[in-house]
Chain A
Amino acid sequence: MKKLYYSFIFLLPLVSMAQNVDRSKAPMPGKAPVIQVGDPVKFTLANGLQVFVVKNTKLPKVSATLALDYDGFKEGDKAGVAEMAGALLKRGTTTKSKAELDEAVEFLGGSLSTSAQSASVASLKTNFPALLNLMAEVVLQPALSNTELEKIRTQTLSGIESNKDDADAIAGNVVKKLVYGANHPYGEMMTTKTVNNVTLSDVKTFLSTYWKPNVAYLVFVGDIEPATAKALAEKSFGAWKKGELAKQDFAKPTKPSQTYVAIVDRPSSVQSVVTIASAVDLYPGSANDIAGSVMNNILGGGFSGRLFANLREKHGFTYGAYSSLKSSRQIGLFQAEAAVRNDKTDSSVQELLREINILRNEQVGQDELNRMKNYLSGGFARSLENPATIANFALNIARNKMPADYYQKYLTNLAAVDATKVKEVAELFMNPNQMHIVIVGNAKQIAKGLDKYGPIKYFDIEGNEVAAQVEAKADASLTPAVLLDKVIAALGGQAALNNVKDIQYKGKAALMGREIEMNQTKVLPGNAIVTMSMGGMVVSKQAVVNGKYSVAQQGMEAPITDDLKESLNETATLYPETIFVKNGYKLKIAGADKIEGADVIDLEVTTPSGKVSHRFYDSKTFLLAKVATTQEVPGRGSVTQQQFFKEYKSVGGVQIANEEVLDLGQFKLNVKYSDIKVNQGLKLEDLK
């Protein structure tokens, strides 16, 4: 028998040597593989902890994930508490400092991670029992130290800070808030305020309320016998006390009565982030789940979707356009999105809606439907290479009370989706008359024409509705010379300005959780030194003293360009308005605008070397409110840097801004000057 077997193999290649292949076209696929979706071994501990074991001996490796199953809860003015608690868990236990814990995990050649709703470990089989003990220690006896919480707070805040300038992050937050509503846990967002509100006791309350064995799953995947897993689970988590979780019901989000356009104004944007979104009645495992995913992939699933073909390939409005359709136990979400050039914002909304309508009104062709079904079934098959997929399937079924054979029948049900069904779910899930069209972009440039899709409303970056922008107009009779006279008068008058012989500003700012000291000292006219220090160390220093220019960053001298000289000369005045005419700057009234609700006049200033900036003066007080400069940054296009001036106070007869906000796009620096002194009798020698 055995011999026959060998000779059979030996003969095969010879037989097939004669096999000719037709190279002119792609080979037909072989018979579809029988896809077996295994079932994990399941059991429940006395405390209610449900345990799944997926045995897979391919590698001598085991992982365990503890997944907490609750629907989220209203964090309110403490939004962020769950996320911070999750991060705090792995920063030490009652018996081990963070460093000791890290070392213990890595000594086992393992990894450990924690989040708001999970903890997981992975290592080789031999070290796994010890590693699981560490995970249990982290979950059941975390140190929860205040020092570590403060480190997490600092990181979280700097993350929020950088997201404030990230158009995609803004869009994500505002869409969630508008679609789900502020009263739904899915619609909440972390802000500086809510993160600062979180105390150690909130973290403890959260963990003791929601981390309970009877709402948790412990999932083992890898080279482990179910009996061994059971013994380990008992030993590590058997003593964990169960507790009742109040069942929470959240009001179902309501759809808007008609489609409207929500604009979040971001004046520095060179692209508009457009999202068309709506809540959908789509739950995991529900009857339309699979047909919905076919429909969504036809519309905007990756490079082969219709949105990509239209907005990128055909029109070149964007680098990518996609849609997504997510099911969730509470409520699902549909989104179609693209980041598009400013001047194509209107056209892009139109094309996104056009594709949605085509899918609702016309049956998809058989070829396109088949391709998409192949794509999905291939992806399904490939996902099974990872043994954790089986565990995830089982978890989804248990958590969402899906039919037990949902994944076994997935491919059959996928194959049964036809063109009629696709059209049916397109009509069901995408109602163009009840959409939120959320656009984060430069309102002044993009708003025109958008009202044909529905009423336009304005929102701030936290999703709160704000008053509509009113187009401001500059007074036609105003010339740059007249404006400058008014500005100088507003500052205290030429005589008062001339009277200031020296001035010293001392201020502080915070950046990424660290304090920066900003100091400026000027001996007028023409001498100044500006330093930025951190922890007593000078990080950046710029000076012009006696006609000698110098600029140093982190102790390294930078080359002095004409550009730099110009800007240092401006720095070495009390207000550069006093030297514009003398130094040959070109000035032009460029228009009007609004800053935080106040009307401002836009003065365009061009230096002799050609550098352009815009200075905005309050049209009532004529004090400088903002300076904006735009420069080309490779790869990011033009980037606008804005500097705001606030809190003017009279010092020695001259109006001085006590607060400056420097907005560099990627981060913001808020400088507060607590100590401003004039005419102390400073000499050039004092400029050090």
Chain B
Amino acid sequence: MRIQFGMAICGMLFLQTATAQQAIQFEKYTLPNGLKVILHEDHSAPVVAVTTLYHVGSKNEDTARTGFAHFFEHLLFEGSENIKRGEFDKYITNAGGALNANTSQDRTFYYELLPSNQVELGLWLESERMMHAKIEQIGVNTQREVVKEEKRQRVDNRPYGSFLSEVLKRAYKVHPYQWTPIGSMDHLNAAKLDEFINFYKTFYVPNNCVLSIAGDFNKAELKAKIEAYFGPIKKGDRPIPRPTIKEPALGGEVRDVIYDNIQLPGVFQAYRAPKQGGDEYYAFNVLSTILSGGESSRMNKALVDIKQQAAAAQSVPFFNEDEGLFIALAIANMGVKIEALEQSMDTVINQLKTALVGEREFQKVKNQITTQLVTGNATMAGIAESLANNEVYFGDANLINTELEKYNKVTRQDVLNVAKKYLNKDNRIVLYYLPKEKPTTK
């Protein structure tokens, strides 16, 4: 069984990437209107990835208008002054390209993958989106239905699909991380057109965006074109709201039972965890790989292979700009008591708190992480996204080249320390997912 996560965390599951062996060269500059531009020139294949990252996610939303950031990810494919409704993606398909977008708690990301002679098409489309996207009632109505369908497909209909929203609303009481990017359909229904227009004017401005392009282009020519397409876009004149609220400690274990359309029960444990980017964050990612990186990892070996209590077991570091979560989950095999499964999970986690990881195992995990970081830079799209993420989150696009050092600094003691500090009962939410089953009758 494979557990699928909604768009909410897909940006998080993949680590920002780096390689020590071969530096990723890039140039970074800012246009007068505040647009940050990052260019990585690479002629190894005739392709280019044109991406824009807007520093707006669900945490920037009003408590009564959740789902706005993600809704925009849909709305901004509707068209612009010069792009007719429904034509945005056709331009890309007809050029032999591909496109998509995703939204997290912290940011919204758009990308086009194109044959390199079509790079200008990407610039045109992205600048149209930023300059004068059409925010009209008809588009709002259409996309509202699409988003509802998306929610049905990804959250309501997917086994365990609601787990993230169920975890978040118990993990955060005051911070906007308490809702998922998909947000509330009621809020979207209630929102008026001018609220959408305001959101666009506030967040979709060049000074809240990074344009990151990687691939086969001539940098000098490309810079001229970027200037021509993006230069005339006006800088935003409104303050950009960013939450400063601090979530207090959880203050005791929270336990609950959720009934869902599933066949097999599941245990979801979520521990409150630090922000991304600090020393503890790197130690936590190492810890997560110890637990569930590959078939020889502790959770897979203990729960799936040896005890055969779980059909699947996984840990998910859910780290964000503000304080995040560390999630451990397991889906029970037929006939396994959920309490017994949770006990085994606790045993595996307690081992991390009581003893240093063995030296060979620690080396194995470091090797896995190194491979993962290096392979992450295999595509132009991956490089463009990493550069943009690193710039927005840490003000340091070059982290793509230095991140491995941060992992190399993590010691076995560091792993023990974060386990002891965070993986405690009074710091966690535990959800049991149980089948909402009708009894069989004769």
Q: Does the CB pair B97–A514 fall under 8 Å?
A: no
Residues of A within 8 A of B343 (CB): none
- In the complex, A344 Cα to B438 Cα: how many Å? 32
Is A304 located at the chain interface by the 8 A CB criterion?
Answer: yes
- Bound complex: CA A9 to CA B363 (Å): 47
Q: Tell me which of B19, B157, B339, B435 contacts A60 (CB under 8 A).
A: B19
| Complex Cα gap A540–B128 (Å) | 58
Known: A9-B220, A381-B47. A570 touches B441 (CB 8 A): yes
Per-residue contact bits, chain B 225-239, to A (CB 8 Å; 1 contact, 0 not): 101110000000000
- In contact, B46 and A26 (Cβ under 8 angstroms): no
> Chain A, 509-539, contact with B by CB distance < 8 Å: what is the 0/1 string?
0011010100010000000001001110101
In contact, A19 and B224 (Cβ under 8 angstroms): yes
Smallest CB gap from B379: residue in A: A385
**Which one, B69-77, B179-187, B294-302, is touching chain A?**
B294-302
Q: Enumerate chain B residues within 8 angstroms of A61, measured Cβ to Cβ.
A: 371, 374-375, 378
Residues of B within 8 A of A554 (CB): 265, 332, 337-338, 434-435
* Shortest CB distance B182–A (Å): 15
CB-nearest residue of chain A to B153: A635
**A100-117 near B? 1/0 per residue, CB < 8 Å:** 001101111110000000
Contact with B along A537-556 (1 / 0, CB 8 A): 10110100000000101111
Q: Which of A77-85, A185-193, A368-376, A433-441 contacts B (4 or more CB under 8 A)?
A: A368-376
Please determine whether A107 and B434 come into contact, CB atoms closer than 8 angstroms. no
Spot the interface stretch: A31-39, A41-49, A287-295, A348-356.
A31-39
Q: A532 vs B85: C-alpha distance in the bound complex, in angstroms?
A: 56
Dominant secondary structure of chain A at its interface with chain B: mixed
Task: Tell me if B442 counts as interface (CB < 8 A to partner A).
Answer: yes
Among A19, A33, A511, A636: residue with most chain B CB under 10 A: A33
Residues of B93-149 at the interface with A, using a CB-CB cut-off of 8 Å, are 93-98, 113-121, 123-124, 127-128
Residues of A with C-beta under 8 A to B265: 554
Assuming the A-B contacts A27-B121, A384-B47, are A12 and B224 also in contact, with contact meaning beta carbons closer than 8 angstroms in the complex? yes
Q: CB within 8 A of B114: which of A32, A304, A378, A512? A: A378
CB distance from A593 to the nearest CB of B (A): 21
Interface string of B297-330 (1 = CB under 8 A from A): 1000100010000000000000000000000000
Most chain B CB within 10 A, of A32, A107, A633, A666, is at A107
B21 at interface by CB-CB < 8 Å? yes
- Residue A17 lies at the interface, judged by CB distance under 8 Å to chain B: yes
Question: In the complex the two chains form, is A556's CB within 8 Å of B47's CB?
Answer: no
Q: How far is the CB of B307 from chain A (nearest CB, A)?
A: 12
Chain A residues 554-588 with CB under 8 Å of chain B are 554-556, 558, 563-564, 567-568, 570-571, 576
Collect the chain B residues with CB atoms within 8 Å of residue A314's CB: none
- CB-CB under 8 A from B367, the residues of chain A are 106-109, 127
- B296 near A99 with CB under 8 A, answer yes
Contacts A16-B228, A382-B97 hold; do A106 and B293 have CB atoms under 8 A apart?
Answer: yes
Partner of B117, one of A9, A30, A376, A555: A30
- A59/B377 contact (C-beta < 8 A), A107-B364, A384-B45 known: yes
| Contact A378 to B97, CB < 8 A, known contacts A107-B367, A520-B442 | yes
The answer to the question of B152 belonging to the interface, with a C-beta cut-off of 8 Å to chain A, is yes
CB distance from B266 to the nearest CB of A (A): 11
When distances are taken between beta carbons in the complex, the residues of chain A under 8 Å from B19 are 59-60
Contacts of A127 in B (CB 8 A): 367
CB neighbours of B90 from chain A (8 A): 304
Contact present for B261 and A634 (CB under 8 Å): yes
A3 on the B face (CB < 8 A): no
Q: Answer whether A535 and B335 are a contact pair too, CB < 8 Å, given A374-B94, A376-B96, A382-B47.
A: yes
* A331 beta carbon closer than 8 Å to chain B: no
Q: Are B339 and A555 in contact (CB under 8 A)?
A: yes
The size class of the interface chain A forms with chain B is: 35 or more
Q: Indicate if the CB atoms of B220 and A12 lie closer than 8 Å.
A: yes
Asked if A26 contacts B91 (CB within 8 A), the reply is: yes
- Does A147 sit within 8 A of B, measured CB to CB? no
Alpha-carbon distance between A110 and B371 when the two chains are bound, in angstroms = 7
**Does any Cβ of B come within 8 Å of A20's Cβ?**
yes
Question: Which of chain B's residues has its CB closest to A384's CB?
Answer: B45
A-chain residues with CB within 8 Å of residue B219 when the two chains form the complex: 9
User: Are A60 and B229 in contact (CB-based, < 8 A)?
Assistant: no
* Bound form: Cα–Cα A35–B114 in Å: 14
Q: Is A610 an interface residue (CB 8 A)?
A: no
Number of interface residues of B (CB under 8 A): 86
Contacts of A108 in B (CB 8 A): 367
* A633 to B436 Cα, complex, angstroms: 11
Contact partners of A375 in chain B: CB under 8 A: 93-96
B46, A13: Cβ atoms under 8 Å? no
CB of A415 to closest CB in B, whole Å: 13
Distance (whole angstroms) from the CB of B342 to the closest CB of chain A:
12
A105 to B360, CA, bound (A): 13
Establish whether residues B93 and A570, one from each chain, have CB atoms under 8 Å apart when the complex forms: no
* Given known contacts A377-B96, A512-B334, A99 and B305 CB-to-CB distance under 8 angstroms: yes
Establish whether residues B124 and A23, one from each chain, have CB atoms under 8 Å apart when the complex forms: yes
When the two chains form their complex, are residues B128 and A23 in contact, meaning their CB atoms are under 8 A apart? yes
Please pick, from A9, A304, A540, A576, the residue contacting B93 in the complex, using a CB distance under 8 A.
A304
B440 within 8 A of A: yes
Cα A632 to Cα B73 in complex, Å, equals 32
Give the Cβ gap from A422 to chain B, nearest Cβ, in Å. Answer: 17
Question: Does A1 touch B at the CB level, under 8 Å?
Answer: no
Pick from A102, A385, A567: contact of B294, CB under 8 Å: A102
Q: Does B409 contact A (CB under 8 A)?
A: no
Q: How far is the CB of B218 from chain A (nearest CB, A)?
A: 9
Cα separation A511 to B90 with both chains bound (whole Å) = 47
Whether, in the assembled complex, B22 has its beta carbon less than 8 Å from a beta carbon of chain A, the answer is yes
Q: Determine whether the beta carbon of B95 is less than 8 Å from that of A13.
A: no
Bound CA span A20–B228, Å = 6
CB atoms of B121 and A537 under 8 A apart: no
B71 to chain A minimum Cβ distance, whole angstroms, is 21
* Cβ contact within 8 Å between B44 and A124: no
Measured between beta carbons, the chain B residues less than 8 angstroms from A30 are: 116-120
Provide the bound-state CA to CA distance between A371 and B432, in Å.
51
* Residues of A661-678 whose CB lies within 8 A of B: 662, 666-667
A58 touches B (CB below 8 Å): yes
How distant is A672 from chain B, measured CB to nearest CB, in Å? 15
Q: Contact mask B409-442 → A, CB, 8 Å, 1/0?
A: 0000000000000000000000010110111111
Kindly state whether residue A597 has any CB partner on chain B within 8 Å: no
Contact of A571 among B96, B113, B437, B442 (CB under 8 A): B442
Chain B CB within 8 A of A303 CB: yes
Q: Kindly state the separation between the CA atoms of A388 and B246 in the bound complex, as whole angstroms.
A: 48
Is A25 on the interface with B (CB-CB < 8 A)? Answer: yes
**Which of B46, B96, B371 is in CB contact (< 8 Å) with A124?**
B371
A58 to B380, CA, bound (A): 12
Interface flag for A248 (CB, 8 Å): no
- Is there an interface contact between A32 and B22, defined as CB atoms closer than 8 Å? no
A552 to B224, CA, bound (A): 69
B47-A60 in contact (CB<8A): no
B331 to chain A, nearest CB (A): 13
B439 to A551, Cβ gap below 8 A? yes
* A107 and B221 contacting across the interface, CB-CB below 8 Å: no
A123 within 8 A of B: yes
Bound CA–CA A429/B128 (angstroms): 43
When the two chains form the complex, which single residue of B81, B94, B227, B305 contacts A13, counting CB atoms closer than 8 Å?
A: B227
Give per-residue flags for A607-643: 1 if the beta carbon is below 8 A from chain B beta carbons, else 0: 0000000000000000000000001011110000001
A-B contact pairs, 26 of them (CB 8 A): A12-B220, A12-B223, A12-B224, A13-B227, A16-B227, A21-B228, A29-B120, A59-B21, A107-B367, A109-B369, A109-B371, A110-B371, A304-B93, A374-B95, A375-B95, A379-B96, A382-B47, A540-B437, A542-B439, A553-B435, A554-B434, A554-B435, A556-B432, A556-B434, A567-B439, A568-B441
**Besides the known contacts A59-B378, A382-B47, A568-B439, 8 further A-B residue pairs in the complex with CB atoms under 8 A apart:** A15-B224, A16-B228, A60-B22, A61-B378, A99-B296, A304-B94, A382-B45, A385-B379
9 pairs of A and B residues whose beta carbons are closest in the complex: A378-B96, A534-B335, A16-B224, A635-B157, A109-B367, A33-B46, A109-B371, A30-B117, A567-B441
